[in-house]
């Protein structure tokens, strides 16, 4: 075996005889110094665990042959006809002037216990919400347990009440999804089924059915071409007359419905409707229902609201006045000219979760004060510690000694 060099072409060092045995290590082999042969072969013997024979390396200046016994022999007579270097495509070539790469530290291989694998992924446990509410006025606990199923596609809810003796009453089970909802009353053994789905891009269908009474209603809603316009037709099941038709438009809606057959009624159809429009920097509303017309005007700015209203043909006139002193203090006053009844409410808020309200109602001759912990109109999950508390004090004007202090607590747990 000879060694040689060529000055006008790039030389390579190769592990051609062992490229099929140590190919998984070629990423680490390419980082060794081509002249540090002792370090190179110690690494090879350490990784493959046995000695090898007939290993030939072609270097830039010399060639060294090693046998399985560990002896080195060189022959200078073979320089007459040097053999061309054998390129190794698994090892990166080394060019003159390249700096040798340091030996990377050997990383110990830690064999971890194989994790069990399942053919199908184990379903994630759905979250469970428990809400309990207590009202001191009725001394009744109201409980609700709900859980979302199938990654939120459906929801199941169980609700019931119990008194101070622990007696359970009014148990109900509800199942709801995007297109179907079922409400079952255990005591009445009755179910109310509701369904809604889209027949087309502009056509929607809703249906409701009471199982015990064998009655229901079917509603078809059609969105017209222009935005804000729609036609709704609903009919009871089984049908007892003409369906109710409602036409909706941006300023309000008008509905036609057949009246019940009575001898004193002259017109077979009843007209109901509502109309809204801008007038005098406010909103004017006209509502017609059962031959009674209510006219209402609402003016509102950042500090004041003024809302007069009148009913025809009774000519009942009333107005509401609201004054906002700042972002936390507000006063509301309502007066009815027909009955001379009035009421006033003062509201003060402390941040987002605390509210104090006090008022008086002349119709029932009662003064009251209420303290809220948590948003009055919000849910328990947004309240501090997911708990809503309300304290109310009622003071009758005619008998102050019979004042009553009531409270209501609502708590939610998430599991």
Q: What is the pTM assigned to this prediction?
A: 0.62
More confident residue, 181 or 240: 181
218 has pLDDT over 80: yes
Question: Per-residue pLDDT averaged across 85-100, rounded?
Answer: 50
Model pLDDT for residues 135-156, shown as the tens digit of each residue: 998 899 999 999 998 888 899 9
pLDDT band at 19 (very low <50, low <70, confident <90, very high): very low
67 has pLDDT over 60: no
pLDDT band at 376 (very low <50, low <70, confident <90, very high): confident
Alpha-carbon distance 56 to 53, whole Å? 9
Residue 29 near residue 22 (C-beta atoms within 8 A): yes
- pLDDT given for residue 47 in this prediction: 56
List, in sequence order, the alpha helices (H) in 30-106: 37-48
Model pLDDT for residues 110-128, shown as the tens digit of each residue: 555 555 555 556 567 788 9
Alpha-carbon distance 14 to 287, whole Å? 95
**Cβ count within 10 A of residue 155:** 17
What is the DSSP-derived secondary structure letter of residue 122?
Answer: P
pLDDT band at 261 (very low <50, low <70, confident <90, very high): low
pLDDT band at 283 (very low <50, low <70, confident <90, very high): very high
- pLDDT given for residue 106 in this prediction: 59
Alpha-carbon distance 258 to 274, whole Å? 18
First to last CA, the chain: 77
Q: Strand 329-336 to strand 63-66: parallel, antiparallel, or no bridges (unpaired)?
A: unpaired
């Amino acid at each position: 075996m000879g060694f040689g060099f060529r000055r006008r072409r790039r030389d390579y060092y190769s592990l051609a005889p062992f490229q099929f045995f140590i190919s998984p290590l070629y990423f680490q082999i390419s980082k060794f110094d081509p002249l540090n042969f002792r370090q190179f072969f110690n690494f090879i013997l350490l990784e493959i665990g046995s000695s090898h024979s007939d290993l030939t390396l072609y270097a830039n200046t010399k060639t060294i042959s090693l046998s399985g016994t560990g002896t080195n022999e060189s022959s200078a007579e073979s320089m007459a006809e040097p053999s061309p270097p054998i390129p190794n495509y698994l090892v990166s070539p080394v060019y003159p002037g390249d700096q040798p790469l340091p030996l990377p530290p050997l990383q110990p291989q830690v064999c971890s216990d194989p994790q069990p694998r399942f053919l199908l992924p184990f379903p994630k446990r759905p979250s469970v919400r428990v809400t309990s509410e207590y009202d001191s006025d009725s001394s009744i606990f109201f409980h609700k347990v709900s859980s979302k199923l199938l990654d939120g596609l459906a929801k199941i809810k169980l609700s019931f009440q119990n008194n101070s003796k622990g007696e359970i009453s009014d148990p109900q089970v509800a199942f709801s999804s995007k297109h179907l909802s079922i409400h079952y009353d255990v005591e009445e053994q009755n179910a109310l089924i509701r369904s809604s789905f889209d027949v087309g891009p502009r056509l929607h269908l809703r249906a409701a059915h009471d199982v015990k009474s064998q009655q229901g209603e079917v509603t078809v809603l059609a969105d017209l071409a222009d935005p804000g316009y729609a036609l709704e037709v609903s009919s009871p099941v089984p049908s007892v007359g003409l369906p109710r038709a409602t036409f909706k438009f941006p300023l309000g809606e008008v509905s036609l419905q057949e009246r019940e057959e009575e001898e004193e009624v002259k017109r077979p159809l009843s007209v109901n409707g509502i109309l809204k429009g801008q007038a005098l920097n406010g909103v004017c509303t006209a509502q017609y229902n059962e031959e009674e017309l209510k006219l209402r005007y609402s003016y509102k700015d950042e500090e004041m609201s003024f809302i007069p209203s009148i009913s025809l043909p009774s000519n009942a006139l009333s107005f509401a006045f609201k004054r906002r002193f700042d972002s936390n203090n507000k006063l509301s006053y309502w007066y009815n000219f027909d009955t001379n009844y009035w009421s006033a409410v003062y509201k003060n808020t402390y941040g987002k979760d605390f509210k104090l309200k006090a008022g008086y109602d002349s119709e029932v001759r009662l003064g009251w004060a209420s303290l809220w912990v948590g948003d009055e109109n919000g849910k328990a999950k947004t309240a501090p510690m997911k708990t809503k508390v309300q304290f109310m004090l009622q003071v009758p004007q005619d008998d102050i000694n019979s004042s009553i202090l009531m409270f209501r607590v609502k708590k939610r747990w998430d599991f």
